[in-house]
Chains A and B, each alone.
Chain A
Amino acid sequence: MKYITYLFVISLLLFNLLVVRAEVAISTPSGTTASSSADTKESNDVKNIKEKLASITRKKDQRAMGGFCNIKDNKVSLVDNEGNEYNIVIDESLTKIYQIAGASKKEIKASDLKQDMYIVVTGPTVDKSINANLVFVDDAYIVQSGKITEINKTDFFIKVTAQDKEEYTLDIEAGTKQNMINPKTLEIEKIGFSKTKEGDIVHFAAKKDTSDKNSKNRFTAQKILVIPQEYFMK
């Protein structure tokens, strides 16, 4: 009987020791007593984290940044719409620079980049520095909407208050495409300047640059799309 009791106690102790040891090894991945299965789990975790980081980096790299070019002491930087400045690292042998003209593009040199040009840059971003893979020189646009607060039929401009309370002055020129939404059918119809009324909502697109005119929120509208007040009176 004594022999059986000893065996019982020893097997109980041995099994407990094994199970508790395995549990400790799993719950403390950095422990020196980690078993081989815990090591495998740890290496898998590290692998997963590395893969996630790589995928995040890849996704990050697939984003582009647009802003006005700032050139100082032969160093190129970009100022985005929020006013953040990014240093653009251009490698003459790796970075490709293009000028966009309509639907086509032409390769240009880094020396062709000028102050206040609007550029779109792709490449890995580290803090406030972009290692440029591609640089595109493009036109900058503003696309906004707001309520028409004033119409000047002599000088052909309208004043608009946007949702963010920003005020814009839009010059309506001969080349400006003017359209209106039919409040019943929602069809887009061509209109003349006389059809636009104060209180209407207008969606507009305009080219943007760093000129004094633009800095005062005055733009030449490329196109306007008016939603008449009647639409909101249904």
Chain B
Amino acid sequence: MKKETVYAILLGVTFGVVLSLVMIFKTKDSQMGKSKPLTNEKKVVPTIQDTNLLTQTFKINEPQDRQIFNTKSISIKGVAEKDSVLIIQSPIKDIVFKVEKEDFTVDMPLALGENVISLTLYPKNSQGRSQQKELRIYYLDEQ
């Protein structure tokens, strides 16, 4: 192959790559611009609120409601406001403790069958509103 032929092919390929990239990016940009949101939800505009009126964090990460276990006890893991008091009550056990860190882990015994576990969080500010969550956990031993 002649030297000139090789140069021509290489130049053609390089130019082709550049042109293709430009075409691809342009097509993607125009598609992004045309895309419509799936929901009719309006954009959420964050607003500043009085922090005293906000509900304090209280979340149960584990276990999930209606989850089945084949062990006699479970660990309840969650997040709550520091220094708040958490009361966990089931028909077989009452636990009261102060949340030392924001994350908490509590071992809870289970009775065979359905276990209704109520979790109530009393905030550090005793005038604050308490929050309650309920879990139904099943200890079903098949053997």
Contact = CB atoms under 8 A, between A and B. Distances in A.
| Interface SS majority for chain B | mixed
A20 interface: yes
Interface stretch (B16-24, B33-41, B54-62, B74-82): B16-24
A77 B118 CA distance: 27
B126 to A, nearest CB: 5
Interface of A: 3-5, 7-12, 14-16, 19-20, 23, 62-66, 96, 100, 102-105, 118, 120, 122, 134, 136, 138-145, 163, 179, 181, 186, 188, 203, 205, 222-223, 225, 227, 231-234
A15 B20 CA distance: 9
Given A19-B20, A139-B113, A144-B118, A8 B8 contact: yes
Contacts of A205: 89-91, 116
Contacts of B9: 7-8, 11
A20 B5 CA distance: 25
Contact of B23 (A20, A227, A233): A20
Given A23-B20, A122-B140, 16 more contacts: A7-B5, A8-B8, A15-B12, A20-B23, A63-B68, A65-B66, A66-B114, A139-B113, A141-B91, A143-B116, A143-B117, A186-B96, A186-B98, A205-B116, A225-B94, A227-B122
9 contacts: A7-B5, A7-B9, A11-B8, A19-B20, A63-B67, A64-B114, A104-B112, A145-B87, A145-B120
A45 to B, nearest CB: 19
Nearest to A5: B8
B49 interface: no
Nearest to A139: B113
A178 to B, nearest CB: 12
Contacts of A4: 4-5, 7-8
B89 A143 contact: yes
Contacts of A65: 66
B130 A203 contact: no
